[in-house]
Each structure stands twice: as C-alpha cells, then as structure tokens.
Amino acid sequence: MSQDDIKNDIMNRLRTDYMARSLYYYDKTDSTNLRIRQLAEEGAPEGTLAVADMQTAGKGRRGRGWISPSGMNIYMSLLLKPAIPASDASMITLIAAMAVAGAVRDFPEASTGGMADTSTGVSGTPADIKIKWPNDIVVGGRKVCGILTEMDLDGEAIRDVIVGIGINVNQDSREEFPEEIRETASSLRIELGTGEIDRGALIARIMDLFEKEYDEFIKCGDLSFMKERYDDMLAGLGGQVRVLDPKGEYTGMSRGMDERGRLLVETDDKTVRPVYAGEVSVRGLYGYV
Ligand code: BTN
C-alpha cells in the first residue's frame, strides 16, 4: 500500500471528531515523538497524529530505546494541548493505556482465545489483557505495548503533551525479539493467536476510544470516571507488589489506582501509600508483571 492508501485506510475507519483527523504517515522516521514536536512548533492542531512504519531512533522510557522494525508494528504519537495544570498531565498516560487495552480487548480473538479450531468449533481461553501500572499493556504476562508521554511547558503552563505509543503487533514468533527482551516482550499476534492483524483498524479503534476517555477527563479533571474500569484491567490487583522507590524499596498489597492515577499500596502496618508514576517502578514479587 502507498502512504496515501495507508492514511486513507486509517481515515476511513475513524469515528472521531478531532483525534487523528490531522494525520501524518512516514515509511521511516527517527521517532514519531520528535515528528510531533516539530509539527507542534509549526502550529499543528490538537489531535494531530504521526504514524510510522519504522523508526530509526525510537525512544522508550527512562532513556531507553524502543526497537522499531518495519512492516509489522505500530509506532504513533499524538499531539494534545490540554488546558490543565502540568501536575495533572501524567494522568493522560493512563488514559492512553485504557484506550489501547480496550481496543485490544475488542478483537474477537481476545474473547474466544485465538482462532477457533474449525474442525471442532472449540476455542481457547479468553486472552489475559492487563495494564501494568501505569501504562504498559501486558497480554499473556508479556509486554506488548509501551507508552512514552512527554510534555513541553511555557513557563508553568502546558504548551503541549505528546503521547507516544509503541505496539508490537505482528511478530509471529518470540525469536524475532532481541534476546534481552525475549522473556518479557511479545506481540498481539502471538499472544492472541491470530493471523496478521490490520494495523490501520487497530490505530483507528485506539483513537476512537482515546478521544472518548480524554474528553471525559478534560470535563472531570481527574480519572474518577474510569477508576473502576482501570482497576478491572490492572495486573496484580490485590496481590503483593514491590515498589522500587529511589528513596527506599518497600512491598505491599496493590489496592488499585486512585482518582489521580496513583497506585495505592497497602503496607504491612495497614498504611496506604499513594505511588506516583515517574521514576518509581512497581513489580510483582514474581517476575515482570
Ligand atoms: C516504553 O519504554 O515502554 C515506552 C515506549 C514508547 C515507544 C513509542 S513508539 C512511538 C513513539 N515514538 C517514540 O520514539 N517512542 C514512542
């Protein structure tokens, strides 16, 4: 498909008012987050989306890279201009996670457990689609999506927020992942047991869901409107977690997120500590999730 065909395919599927209505597609770019920053400087409107088939300098969180081969995955970044205090911007990342998790859950294969066996009509168990707080999407216990949110300020006010979403979609074997992430990473196709997934359809569905959640957040000012649904998808809810806080590690029970997107962790002395996303990471006691 040509660049225009891919753009039109996404456009034709969109049901949004403004998300991704301004759409840029790149066969190859350094990083879609960098493209969006440049577009923002040139005056691009809220909801502008940059999508690439391949990135040569994909950025992950904490200064890491994001492996971005061509022909199989989704790399996209969204431009937002929310009129909210800068301290509230981290909540947008959880909204993006909800939109991706919701779009993945909408796949027919996610509820039937992969392609049904046509000879017997029997299908597997429904896919285990979770969010690892705050914003990794984990399917079958392995990370399939990461989100990198960056913010530009004008003094104390938000100039723009850039939400970068990377999804491993169509790798069909875990051998395709570099050795250092082979244990913890996977793709939707592998974990859902599907054939090739239509990336355009998935992008459009994520944008539809994101717009709904984001508009609600801007009205509400916090995440109380989606707390229950988020907790429903939260990996390890009610289980033991270890909080890797640079000021000192501790363990406790995960009690879900609060209305500001903080993870509530109940320690042994029954104190509930709100954990802020950022430099802190949270692990289950056993393994990555
Ligand atoms: C993570 O480390 O979990 C976040 C990874 C975010 C990767 C995406 S891919 C699209 C966008 N462009 C980038 O350079 N990074 C984000």
Residue 164 Cβ < 6 Å to ligand 1 = yes
197 with 267, same domain? no
Average of per-residue pLDDT across 114-121: 51
Phi and psi torsions of 212, nearest 5°: -60, -50
Q: Per the structure, how many domains does the chain have?
A: 2
Last residue of a domain, one of 195, 212, 228: 228
pLDDT, tens digit, 9 for 90 and up, residues 70-101: 999 999 999 999 999 999 999 999 999 999 99
223 with 241, same domain? no
**Token pair of 258, please?**
């609060």
| pLDDT over 70 at 146, yes or no | yes
Residue 252's pLDDT is what? 95
14 with 75, same domain? yes
Asked if 186 and 143 touch (Cβ cutoff 8 Å), the reply is yes
Q: Determine the atom of ligand 1 nearest the C-alpha atom of 62.
A: 2
The CATH code of the domain that includes 68 is 3.30.930.10
Percentage of residues of the chain with pLDDT beyond 70: 92
Last residue of a domain, one of 184, 211, 228: 228
pLDDT band, residue 114 (cuts 50/70/90): low
Reference 257, options 93, 82, 85, 143; nearest CA is: 93
Last residue of a domain, one of 228, 252, 272: 228
Residue 124's pLDDT is what? 58
70 with 117, same domain? yes
Q: Is residue 168 part of a domain?
A: yes
Q: Is residue 289 part of a domain?
A: no
Residue 90 Cβ < 6 Å to ligand 1 = no
Q: Is residue 176 part of a domain?
A: yes
Q: Whose CA is nearest to atom 3 of ligand 1?
A: 146
52's CB contacts (< 8 A; 6+ apart) are: 25, 26, 27, 28, 29, 32, 35, 68, 75, 76
Q: Is residue 188 part of a domain?
A: yes
Secondary structure of residue 125 in the 3-state scheme: coil
190 with 278, same domain? no
| pLDDT over 60 at 117, yes or no | no
Residue 70's pLDDT is what? 96
Interval between CA 146 and ligand 1 midpoint (Å): 6
222 with 255, same domain? no
pLDDT, tens digit, 9 for 90 and up, residues 227-262: 999 999 999 999 999 999 888 999 999 999 999 999
Alpha-carbon distances, residue 287 vs 137, 179, 184 (angstroms):
15, 17, 9
254 with 186, same domain? no
| pLDDT over 60 at 115, yes or no | no
62 with 200, same domain? yes
14 with 44, same domain? yes
Q: What is the dihedral of CA 182, 183, 185, 186, to 10 degrees?
A: 80
30's CB contacts (< 8 A; 6+ apart) are: 55, 56, 57
211 with 95, same domain? yes
pLDDT, tens digit, 9 for 90 and up, residues 170-207: 999 999 999 999 999 999 999 999 999 999 999 999 99
Interval between CA 204 and ligand 1 midpoint (Å): 18
pLDDT, tens digit, 9 for 90 and up, residues 199-214: 999 999 999 999 999 9
Domain that holds residue 130: 3-228
Residue 116's pLDDT is what? 47
Q: Is residue 105 part of a domain?
A: yes
Reduced 3-state DSSP string for 20-65: CCCEEEECCECCHHHHHHHHHHCCCCCCCEEEECCECCCECHHHCE
Residue 174 Cβ < 6 Å to ligand 1 = no
Mean pLDDT in the chain? 92
pLDDT band, residue 277 (cuts 50/70/90): confident
In which residue are the tokens 């995960």 written?
254
The CATH code of the domain that includes 273 is 2.30.30.100
HSE on the CB side for 215, CA within 13 Å? 11
50 with 117, same domain? yes
pLDDT, tens digit, 9 for 90 and up, residues 40-50: 999 999 999 99
